[in-house]
Amino acid sequence: MLKLLVVAALCLGGLYLLGVFSPTPARPDLKPDGWWGRGPKKAKDDETIKPFKVNIPQKDLDDLDKRLANTRLGEDLEESTFEYGFQVGFMKQVIDHWRNKFDWRKQEAALNTFPQFTTNIEGIDVHFIRVKPPSSKGPTKPLLMVHGWPGSIWEFYKILPMLTDPANNGFPGNEGFEVICPSIPGYGFSEAPHHRGFNTREAGRMFVKLMARLGHDRFYMQGGDWGSAITTDIATMYPQHVIALHLNSAIAVAAQWKQIALSLMPSLFLEEGEHYPGFFGQFSILLRESGYMHLQATRPDTVAFSLNDSPVGLAAYILEKIAVWTHSDSLLTKDGDLTKHYELDEVLTNVMIYWVSGSIGSSMRFYRENLYDLTENYAWAKIPVEVPVGLVFFKQEIFNNPFFLVKDRYSNIVQHSFLPHGGHFAAMQVPHALAQDFFSFVEKINEAKTEKGEL
């Protein structure tokens, strides 16, 4: 036993030294510009900011109803549960609710309560929400907030009032932000790129241009899922534009010795309140839940035909992810406890944004563009993020990276929190908790600035 421990210690020591003395990869060259529109590149973007309202033609809604009415359903295995996916009985409930109770015009009006716009950047029209504090008359504190997959700007409909008007939404004493929520190109009401190669760094450059067009040279950022990757890339590439970064799903590319040490002796490296299923538990989750990622990173356009043609197929695909990524311990139920955490109207509104925009294919293609060739991704991921960072870890986040691994990437962590409730779609599931953590982070940033005489 002693020999085994000595060998393990030597191996870990060797891996540690390799990690310490491995040089940081050279910073890749930044692309100053891109072109994602149809046809030849234009000399200059049309920088006009145009008001936008969601107004889906009635004929499209009538077509949807016919497709729902003519859905062909299969048959469940006897005694099967959500381990196999959604059951036919539950999907019948979804179809009935969608056809007879769900009111798209009501949800459309709810979307349109937020000021929305489009502007052309690098050849494509980018859609975004822009909400200012109700009492703002002068300069505001700008916050770029970015969604992920299979989410949309609808993820933020509960948290936006908290961030823009905190005094009247449960957070007295906090100053409201001007919040800008863009739809990632290829998602929802943003035009899809028409050329290959559009990844998180390209999106990040476009969003920096968007913020500059709105008059913001420096801004706060918040993100989860792809939003976390995009905002992290912005902080890496353009730190001069970032005041601070807050994430609810952090990116980790840690040294190998750390990953091995954590898997062998997790109790030595985990903090109080931190949830970590262990190496084999984490591997099991990854194996069970990452099939969609492999599919979308290799042949996204093939499956897009069926999802773009069948509203029930699209709903099952998206709602399954929302259910599992909200609470992965619900596999033995009939519906993954989806309706325990959300109203059907709110999750169907997210599905509808994909359906009416026909964007499921281009949204899935984002995985191929980001994951097919990882060489450049890895080089960027090894560059430390030096802007002030706040991290919040929700217990039911499906792909939680332990703080011990994450802090390799973020070198200036001002705050990190472990919360006992909430999952991947925190802004929609537990908006108050996410907003509270964000405001706490901003308070720490302000305290630091005061100490330095910057406020």
Residues that are catalytic: 225, 367, 424
Q: What are phi and psi of 374, to 5 degrees?
A: -95, 0
Contacts of 246 (CB under 8 A, 6+ apart): 220, 221, 222, 223, 389, 390, 391, 392, 437, 438, 441
The 10 Å Cβ neighbour count of residue 236 is: 21
Terminal-residue alpha carbon distance, the chain: 58
Q: Tell me the two tokens of residue 190.
A: 């943003």
Contacts of 186 (CB under 8 A, 6+ apart): 192, 193, 198, 359, 362, 363, 365, 366
Integer Cα distance of 281 and 277 in angstroms: 5
CB 228 within 8 A of CB 385: no
Q: What are phi and psi of 393, to 5 degrees?
A: -110, 110
The contacts found for 50-57 with CB under 8 angstroms, 24 or more apart, are 50/117, 50/118, 50/119, 51/115, 51/116, 51/117, 52/116, 52/117, 52/118, 52/127, 52/189, 53/112, 53/116, 54/108, 54/111, 54/112, 54/116, 54/189, 55/108, 56/104, 56/108, 56/356
Integer CA distances (angstroms), 153 to 144, 149, 244, 253, in order: 12, 11, 21, 28
Integer Cα distance of 83 and 77 in angstroms: 11
Report CA Rg, the chain: 22
Q: Tell me the two tokens of residue 304.
A: 């897009």
Integer Cα distance of 425 and 323 in angstroms: 10
Residue closest to 130 by CA, chosen among 241, 213, 248, 224: 213
Residue closest to 231 by CA, chosen among 385, 127, 415, 398: 385
**Owner of token pair 């509270």:** 436
Integer Cα distance of 12 and 8 in angstroms: 6
* 144: β partners: 180, 221
